[in-house]
Structure 1
Amino acid sequence: MRKKRATAAAKAAGVDGMLIAHLPDVRYLCGFTGSNAVLAFAGGRATLFTDGRYTVQARVEAARTRVMIAKKPAVVAACEWLETAGVRRCGFDAAHTTVAGLEMMRKALSAKVRRGMFVAVGPLVARMREVKDVDEVKLIRAAALVGCDLFEGMLTYLEAGLTETEVAATLEYAARLAGAEGMSFDTIVASGERSALPHGRATGAKLPKQGFVTLDFGVILDGYCSDMTRTVHIGKALPSERDVYDSVLEAQEAAVAAVAPGVTAGEVDEAARSVLRRVKLDKYFSHSTGHGVGLEIHEGPRLAAKQTQVLEQGMVITIEPGVYMPGRFGLRIEDMVLVTANGGEVLTPSVKAWIEL
């Protein structure tokens, strides 16, 4: 079904073939998970090109797709096959094709078809991937719940004096024990003044006796990512710190409440941003409100100011406003949210209320 949809999308884009080299797109369309693959479409047929390391794996994982084990670069073999199959306008995703890669593709063709063969058609498969099917939602939900369990476990572990790297290592070890294939991205542990860094990856800095600790992490299960952020406070907080936390939580919950099919990504962003604007904290919110999640940690849609893309049922997005005050502190609260017919369903239901350790 996915390959048929990709073929239809290529036809609508005005091409009679397609070359797909971005590995998450390849996996989405045929199930292959190896590190070297190109999927080529011609005349409604799809052929997977890879190398001899994956002879058995490819035929097992891509059982419903023709597999060719190439003795030359997979992309070269794929381009030669496309020409032989009669393709004369082949679509490709320019966002994931380097200049050198495009030149290799062209050189693989004979001179008579080289000119005009490759046509940039945009991220057709990536757009398909934005709306998740039932099976994908099941996998993402499972990954999200593992993340929630990890956070709950960290609450009994966090204490002043631990280094951020110790915290990250402990969380990642627990993730592996829970069955994770790996982390969705480098775990963020940012504490004290470093909590004002939106992407403050773990360092040797020690957790403070009094201050915020932000944990931003995700796991990969069966290829699908999770993503969540929680911020806790060690020691007695100042009233001003609690006030900022409450404002960020209100902004986050307002954005979650705004999620629904037919709502634009920009409207969800504004729901969060308007809360922080009202309390004069919007200038400290320095990034977009969220993004799609799936086989990649960052997918479409992008939830940011003035984004006009309309949310659709089946999309899985993050809602993650934050406030970052350089030299003082910062905090972020993030959930994964499924767009349903009835609004947004939070997939990361662990506690967001104020926590003081």
Structure 2
Amino acid sequence: MDNLTPFQRRQEKVKKLLPGKPYDTLLVSEPWNRAYLSGFWAEDMQLTESSGFLFLTEKAQVLATDFRYQEQAEKEAPDFQVVIYKENLANILPEIFASLGTRTLGFENHHLTYERVMKIQEALQEWHPQGELLPGGELVEGLRMVKEPEEIQAIRNSLALTESVLETIVAEAEVGKTEKQLAWRIEQLMREAGAEAISFPPIVASGPGAAMPHAVVSDRQLGDSETIIIDLGARLDHYCSDMTRTLILGEPDSKAREVYGIVREAQLRAMAAVRAGIPSSEVDSVARDYIALAGYGDNFGHGLGHGIGLAVHEKPGFGKSSSMVLEEDMVVTIEPGIYLPGWGGVRLENMVRVTADGCEILNQNEFFYSF
């Protein structure tokens, strides 16, 4: 057993991949990738701002940040040489490139703006006229897909908190309360339970609004015998949870019973199909084909699920065109749904850990109906 920290193990994985890349230095700008490799947890408020860049070569690693984060960076990222810039990161980039001997720089082309890329290119060529900027792809995202034991435990804890909140919400939900009241109560309970944040703004969609998969909460009052989609998640110790249940206050009508039963069976079949080695598209097809055979194929228009970890939506994705193959210790969501304009909708979402021969359902509390 090595004595490396999780961050050091991840850094070593990146360094081992670099010799096979067309660049000698990797620039990491995406906030969760940066935190995953360094332990530096500062967040970027918007795409045009950055609290720090990582630069990694086979032999060195630098974290460039500004005065606001100096103490935090030195404390949280001891494996990195911390370089502080005063006015503009671009001003010290030539110095960083010179210290690393950078000739070719791989960057996260899915994250940086064109304007920022141009400034980096200028700085690289100021240091070395033949310096070249190359797309680095999603190298770190690829590492993040398979979760380490510490990450899986953090995700379990986050989900347990979310389920405890949902249990209270189910008990408190009643006809006449508004979607906004329930959504605010979710946020309040999560904070009181110790979450540092919500994974995403909770969705509470009732009646016809439940036909919109990502409905925005409104002042609409919850009604009797209608479907209410509640999609919620917490961020605890940096890791996200994400689950969805559909509530029905009062006696469900025949349509609600039918649609709910189809969605639940589709979810069960999809979870039974999950295992290491299977393409995520095949798992998606299991649920999608079942819903289509039941006559609602046109009413399930989103992917079956997604990876989850530091970000609420990570790779792998689930969809008909996905080429990703599931691997052991990926943590993913399985969330089929049926949405009927003018009536409402049903979505059910569990989190599962992929195993060698199946999956472990991480949700402990069911909150499912048996009609």
Report the TM-score, using the length of structure 1 for normalisation.
0.96
Q: What's the RMSD between the two structures over aligned residues?
A: 1.6
Equivalent residue runs for 1:106-255 within 5 Å: 106-111=121-126, 113-255=128-270
Q: 1:355 to 1:233 in 2, by over 3 A?
A: farther
Give deviations 1:61-114, integer Å, cap 9, x for gaps.
112222112223335534531234211111111000110110111122344735
- State how far apart, in whole Å, the 1-side matches of 2:106 and 2:64 are: 17
Q: 1:76 to 1:277 in 2, by over 3 A?
A: farther
Q: Which residue of 2 aligns with 1:18?
A: 26
Say if 1:42 and 1:82, in contact at 8 Å, map to a contact too.
no
Q: Which residue of 2 aligns with 1:296?
A: 311
The equivalent position to 1:2 in structure 2, one of 1, 4, 10, is 10
SS of the residue 1:50 aligns to = strand
Give deviations 1:316-338, integer Å, cap 9, x for gaps.
11100000000011010001111
Could you list the structure 1 runs, at least 4 aligned residues long, displaced by more than 6 angstroms after superposition.
Answer: none
Q: How many residues are paired up?
A: 356
Say if 1:4 and 1:44, in contact at 8 Å, map to a contact too.
no
- State how far apart, in whole Å, the 2-side matches of 1:32 and 1:229 are: 31
Gaps of 5+ in 2: 1-8, 44-50
SS of the residue 2:326 aligns to = coil
Report the TM-score, using the length of structure 2 for normalisation.
0.92
Report the identity percentage: 35
Q: 1:76 to 1:348 in 2, by over 3 A?
A: farther
Q: 1:267 to 1:220 in 2, by over 3 A?
A: same
Say if 1:219 and 1:227, in contact at 8 Å, map to a contact too.
yes
SS of the residue 1:324 aligns to = strand
Alpha-carbon distance, 1:54 to partner: 1.5
Say if 2:125 and 2:131, in contact at 8 Å, map to a contact too.
no
Q: Which residue of 2 aligns with 1:50?
A: 65
Say if 1:79 and 1:105, in contact at 8 Å, map to a contact too.
no
- State how far apart, in whole Å, the 2-side matches of 1:94 and 1:253 are: 38
Alpha-carbon distance, 1:43 to partner: 3.9
1:37 is aligned to 2:52 = yes
Say if 1:260 and 1:342, in contact at 8 Å, map to a contact too.
yes
Alpha-carbon distance, 1:282 to partner: 1.4
- State how far apart, in whole Å, the 2-side matches of 1:75 and 1:292 are: 34
Gaps of 5+ in 1: none
Alpha-carbon distance, 1:6 to partner: 1.2
More off after superposition, 233-242 vs 345-354 = 345-354
Say if 1:232 and 1:355, in contact at 8 Å, map to a contact too.
no
- State how far apart, in whole Å, the 1-side matches of 2:266 and 2:93 are: 49
SS of the residue 2:364 aligns to = coil
Say if 2:95 and 2:127, in contact at 8 Å, map to a contact too.
no
Q: Which residue of 2 aligns with 1:279?
A: 294
